[in-house]
Amino acid sequence: MDPELLGRLIDGHAAALVLYAGQWCEAPEDVVQDAFLKLAAQRRMPESPHAWLFRVVRNGAINAATAARRRHRHEAGAARSTPWFEPGRAGDRGETVDPETAAAELRALPIEQREVIVARLWGGLTFEQIGELRGDSSSTAHRLYHAGLSALRERLGVSCPRSRSRPTPS
Amino acid sequence: MSTQQVPPDPELAAIEEALGALSPSRGRLDRDRLMFRAGQVSHRPTAPGRWGWPAVAGVLAVVALGQAVALRARPASRVVDRVVVVRVPALPSPDPAPVVILSQSPPAPPEAPTVLPWPLDYERLRRQIIRFGLDGLPEPPTFALRPGGRSDRERPEPSGALLRSEIARLLNPGEPL
């Protein structure tokens, strides 16, 4: 495998893959590392390495979570050792969301919605790719995405720009 | 990142933008160590190649085991003694060199039996007969003839057959003389 291509994939998608794998297991870095090593060992490069990595990470994270439950080391709702988001990143338009709060609200979402939101917003996958990843249709993926974002909008208090720009009648 | 099939929802644009501004944490993932490990893995033989030599060793082990079983199950060899007479044809003698007769002496007369005087002792007579047969017998003695042509004993003139019969009786002690 081309080392430069591998480096670009790590730089561009490693963090999103760690966030994605963190939906299931407590050690997402190990799962993501194994996925990149499997990609490096492939004789033929997949058509879409990006989507391929997400599929491998998803399977690995689910297996790791199952193994952890079997070892009775599952800790429901326990805080992760590493935060989900880098602290102190401000939005372009000044609308900021606290990383810790966002992470906490994401954890509160159902796993199906959280998975789609993470894959879409930070993974950069299309709804078709997300549907293939989950074994669902693209419309199902979009529906889950819409529902999860609506819930986050209400919990995080992010208002609609249209409502902000519309002048209030006196 | 929006698809053309699903139009972006304007109500969700703000939350999308706000959440998209957050940067996921890479956590404990070490980029340099991951690149090093990926380089090691990429040069490792893949599963089909990894099993090449073990497969060859397995096939050879099966062949050796099969030969051992076949050798053990083979019946013991039977030793059969058989006499084979080999007749060697006589080699033709090479052509002898032509014999050139320079001189030819007259042929030697056949060996005549030795005429022994009468009477003979028993051993000498026996050797004479063995060597020359009955022809080797000595001349019988002549009997004195009385007037009248007959001997005192009145025995007829002995012939060779009669003398031979008497000799035969002499040689066979079991018969009365």
Give yes or no for residue B2 having a pLDDT over 50: no
Tell if the pTM clears 0.80, that is, is over it.
no
- Contact list in A for residue B13 (CB cut-off 8 A) is 161
Is B41 in Cβ contact with A41 (below 8 Å)? yes
- Contact list in B for residue A36 (CB cut-off 8 A) is 34, 38
Question: What pLDDT shows up at residue A34?
Answer: 94
Is B6 in Cβ contact with A37 (below 8 Å)? no
Rounded to the nearest integer, the mean pLDDT of chain A is 84
Give yes or no for residue A151 having a pLDDT over 80: yes
Of A15, A82, A153, nearest to B23 by CB-CB distance is A15
Give the number of A-B residue pairs with CB atoms closer than 8 Å: 138
Min Cα separation B42/chain A (Å): 5
- List, for residues B54-67, the tens digit of each pLDDT value: 899 999 999 999 99
Give yes or no for residue B5 having a pLDDT over 60: no
Residue B16 forms contact with A (CB below 8 Å): yes
* Residue A21: alpha-carbon gap to chain centroid: 7
- List, for residues B74-124, the tens digit of each pLDDT value: 888 888 888 888 888 877 766 666 777 787 777 767 666 555 555 557 888
Which residue of A45, A149, A150, A152 is the best one to mutate when testing the B interface, meaning the one whose CB has the most B CBs within 10 A? Answer: A149
Min Cα separation A170/chain B (Å): 24
Lowest mean pLDDT among A34-43, B16-25, B113-122: B113-122
Please give, one letter per residue, the 3-state secondary structure of chain A.
CCHHHHHHHHHHHHHHHHHHHCCCCCCHHHHHHHHHHHHHHCCCCCCCHHHHHHHHHHHHHHHHHHHHHHCCCCCCCCCCCCCCECCCCCCCCCCCCCHHHHHHHHHHCCHHHHHHHHHHHCCCCCHHHHHHHHCCCHHHHHHHHHHHHHHHHHHHCCCCHHHHHCCCCC
Rg of chain B in Å (alpha carbons): 64
Min Cα separation A73/chain B (Å): 20
Residue B38 forms contact with A (CB below 8 Å): yes
Is B12 in Cβ contact with A10 (below 8 Å)? no
Give the chain A residue whose CA is nearest to the CA of B2.
A126
Q: What is the DSSP string of B55-103?
A: HHHHHHHHHHHHHHHHHHHSPPPPP-------PPPPPPPPPPPPPP---
Is B27 in Cβ contact with A91 (below 8 Å)? no
Question: What pLDDT shows up at residue A117?
Answer: 95
Is A11 in Cβ contact with B31 (below 8 Å)? yes
Give yes or no for residue A89 having a pLDDT over 60: no
Give the ipTM of the model, two decimals please.
0.76
